[in-house]
């Protein structure tokens, strides 16, 4: 029988349920079990595609084009999986499916209600998706980790709590482990660890019919034995099943922390059944020892919320680990680099340029809308003219192309039709097959092949052997195919194109240490120990290494 680990959260959001769920997956995988994951998001959106990064962090894109919650990125990176859009379950998806069935007459005249119709559909969805392999192998996985978003007590979560309560009897209570992630705050001058928030959260969960088997308690410092005993007494769990997940130098310590506290024994698995945990431990502790610095300027427009660039940050970290450098990210609000900002706030302008000029490399990530665009353009110009390693992702490729047209080809009016529909010289244009009336799921999405157009170049060597690469896309605009020949004649070569040979996917500038742009989003396929090649190239060049 398949085993299910169901992770819920209490007290407040943002406690690290995703990292906890991923870490449990690492322990299951280290025991030789094949795993998969499902993230439940109780919001009414069909998917995360139309959400602002300020609202919900980055939108993570899957191979099949699914636009999903960023926690699925944690699962893919920690467990080396390739999940599908059905691995992200939302209220919008569930209600759409039930209403569609009602319209077809599937319920034979019954009154359609939350119980049993919505709760049954949730259970059916979970059981179906849990048996779909995500590791490239045949056959159903051995275990599925399910994370319930939000916090216990939210009205949006109620149908899912009820569905999961029923689910334990559908698949057998012995095949389900409930893990509840909660907060143990430290209060007062003596730093007393308070258990009351967790007590109330567990009481709420038990009142809804679910008794947690394991408590994972977030805190700044390790929990005392006294605190664990108190939680065990009031929350109806064994003291051994109260886990402390205190602050650590890097998130790769979390699986090790849980293993050291006996989680593998509680789950009745041998976490040393493979060499995975040993390698994981070496990676986590090795990362703490890195001392030689490398700094990357992140020129973006959502810099107030780092989760908006979570996969980009992880890609930089994985690449820095590979080149054995301690990474520093210099966050730069793109609009602060613009000359117009100097009159608004000269101090911000000076600080932004100081950070840019002091960085070893520059990265311009993806984004939407015209705010900060001219700042990104001048960042690309600075990198090109001063031989500073540069990586442009999606919009970062487009602004670098616009900059090249303006300052190398001498076409001062070059721009994207995204920012000026009536632009005199459209260097970047709207893709002809994309809908202009609907936003959700209408971009060029998912894994697509990029065919190499040259025999040799820096970025091709980084990717290794092969005539093509498969990377994930999320964009509506592309470089104007009509101007490619003109741009290439001036030295900016489009070394990778799509299967039609028309769409420009990768550029590289002749004679520059590292000036690369990619139309796709390579950050979505990075893994610890297997960094994304474009990011590895940036970190190598920024560290002074030969490519």
Return the percent helix, strand and coil in the chain, to nearest 5: 40, 20, 35
Of 122-136, 312-326, 441-455, which gets the smallest average pLDDT? Answer: 441-455
Active-site residue, 235 included: no
CB of 42 closer than 8 Å to CB of 150: yes
pLDDT (tens digit per residue) in 230-273? 999 999 999 999 999 998 889 999 999 999 999 999 999 999 88
pLDDT > 70? residue 482: yes
pLDDT band at 418 (very low <50, low <70, confident <90, very high): confident
**Mean pLDDT on 130-135:** 96
Provide the token pair at 79. 């467990």
CB of 438 closer than 8 Å to CB of 427: no
Mean pLDDT for the chain?
92
pLDDT band at 172 (very low <50, low <70, confident <90, very high): very high
Residue 441 or 30, more confident:
30
pLDDT (tens digit per residue) in 445-471? 899 999 999 999 999 999 998 999 999
pLDDT band at 436 (very low <50, low <70, confident <90, very high): low
Cβ neighbors of 68 (< 8 A, separation 6 or more) are: 39, 47, 48, 59, 60, 61, 62, 83, 85, 87, 88
CB of 506 closer than 8 Å to CB of 493: no
pLDDT (tens digit per residue) in 23-65? 999 999 999 999 999 999 999 999 888 888 877 789 999 999 9
Of 74-83, 110-119, 414-423, which gets the smallest average pLDDT? Answer: 414-423
Listing DSSP states for 344-371 in one string gives H-HHHHHHHHHHHHH-SEEEE----SST
Cβ neighbors of 537 (< 8 A, separation 6 or more) are: 391, 458, 459, 462, 514, 516, 547
Provide the token pair at 7. 């992770």
Q: Which of 253, 336, 473, 521 is catalytic?
A: 521
Q: How far apart are CA 67 and CA 62, in angstroms?
A: 7
pLDDT > 60? residue 435: no
Q: What is the pLDDT of residue 441?
A: 56
Q: Which of 217, 235, 394, 457 is catalytic?
A: 394
pLDDT band at 503 (very low <50, low <70, confident <90, very high): confident
Q: Which of 147, 162, 478, 523 is catalytic?
A: 523
Exposed, middle or buried, 506 (CB in 10 Å: 0-12/13-18/19+)? buried
**Mean pLDDT on 370-374:** 89
For residue 367, give the nearest of 435, 421, 416, 295 by alpha carbon: 416
pLDDT > 90? residue 368: no
Q: What is the pLDDT of residue 126?
A: 98
Q: What is the pLDDT of residue 432?
A: 65
**Long-range contacts formed by 92-99: CB under 8 A, 24+ apart:** 92/43, 92/44, 92/45, 92/46, 92/47, 93/46, 93/47, 93/125, 94/118, 94/121, 94/122, 94/125, 94/159, 95/44, 96/46, 97/121, 97/125
Active-site residue, 521 included: yes
The predicted model scores a pTM of: 0.92
pLDDT band at 75 (very low <50, low <70, confident <90, very high): very high
């Amino acid at each position: 029988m398949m085993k299910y680990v169901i992770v819920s959260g209490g007290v407040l959001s943002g406690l690290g349920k995703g990292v906890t769920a991923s870490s449990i997956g690492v322990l299951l995988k280290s025991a030789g079990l094949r795993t998969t994951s499902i993230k439940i998001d109780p919001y009414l959106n069909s998917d995360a595609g139309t959400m602002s990064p300020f609202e919900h962090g980055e939108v993570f894109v899957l191979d099949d084009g699914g636009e999903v919650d960023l926690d699925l990125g944690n699962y893919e990176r920690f467990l080396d999986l390739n999940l599908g859009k059905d691995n992200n379950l939302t209220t919008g998806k569930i209600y759409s499916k039930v209403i569609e069935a009602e319209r077809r007459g599937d319920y034979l005249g019954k009154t359609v209600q939350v119980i049993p119709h919505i709760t049954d559909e949730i259970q059916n969805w979970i059981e179906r998706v849990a048996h779909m392999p995500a590791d490239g192998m045949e056959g159903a996985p051995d275990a599925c980790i399910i994370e319930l978003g939000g916090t216990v007590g939210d009205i949006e979560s109620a149908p899912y709590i009820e569905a999961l309560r029923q689910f334990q009897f559908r698949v057998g209570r012995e095949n389900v482990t409930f893990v509840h992630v909660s907060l143990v705050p430290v209060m007062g001058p003596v730093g007393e660890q308070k258990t009351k928030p967790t007590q109330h959260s567990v009481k709420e969960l038990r009142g809804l019919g679910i008794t947690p088997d394991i408590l994972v308690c977030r805190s700044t410092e390790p929990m005392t034995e006294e605190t664990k005993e108190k939680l065990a007494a009031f929350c109806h769990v064994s003291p051994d099943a109260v886990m402390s997940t205190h602050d650590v130098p890097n998130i790769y310590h979390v699986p090790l922390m849980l293993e050291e506290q006996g989680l593998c024994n509680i789950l009745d698995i041998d976490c040393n059944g493979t060499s995975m945990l040993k390698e994981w431990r070496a990676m986590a502790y090795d990362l703490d020892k890195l001392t030689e610095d490398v700094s990357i300027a992140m020129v973006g427009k959502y810099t107030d919320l780092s989760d908006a660039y979570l996969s980009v940050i992880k890609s930089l970290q994985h690449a820095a680990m590979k080149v054995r450098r301690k990474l520093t990210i210099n966050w730069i609000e793109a609009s602060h680099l613009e000359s117009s900002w100097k009159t608004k706030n000269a101090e911000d302008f000076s600080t932004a340029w100081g950070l840019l000029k002091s960085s070893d490399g520059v990265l311009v990530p993806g984004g939407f809308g015209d705010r900060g665009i001219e700042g990104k353009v001048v960042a690309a110009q600075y990198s090109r003219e001063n031989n500073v390693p540069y990586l442009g992702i999606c919009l970062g490729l487009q602004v670098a192309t616009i900059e090249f047209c303006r300052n190398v080809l001498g076409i001062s009016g070059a721009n994207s039709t995204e920012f000026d529909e009536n632009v005199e010289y459209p260097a970047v244009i709207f893709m002809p097959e994309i809908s202009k009336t609907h936003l959700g799921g209408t971009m060029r999405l998912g894994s697509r092949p990029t065919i190499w157009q040259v025999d040799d170049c820096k970025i091709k060597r980084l990717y290794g052997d092969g005539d093509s690469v498969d990377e994930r896309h999320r964009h509506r605009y592309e470089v104007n195919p009509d101007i490619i020949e003109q741009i290439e004649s001036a030295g900016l070569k489009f070394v990778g194109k799509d299967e039609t040979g028309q769409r420009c996917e990768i550029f590289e500038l002749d004679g520059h240490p590292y000036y690369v742009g990619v139309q796709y989003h390579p950050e979505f396929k990075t893994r610890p120990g297997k960094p994304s090649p474009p990011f590895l190239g940036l970190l190598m060049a920024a560290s002074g290494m030969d490519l």
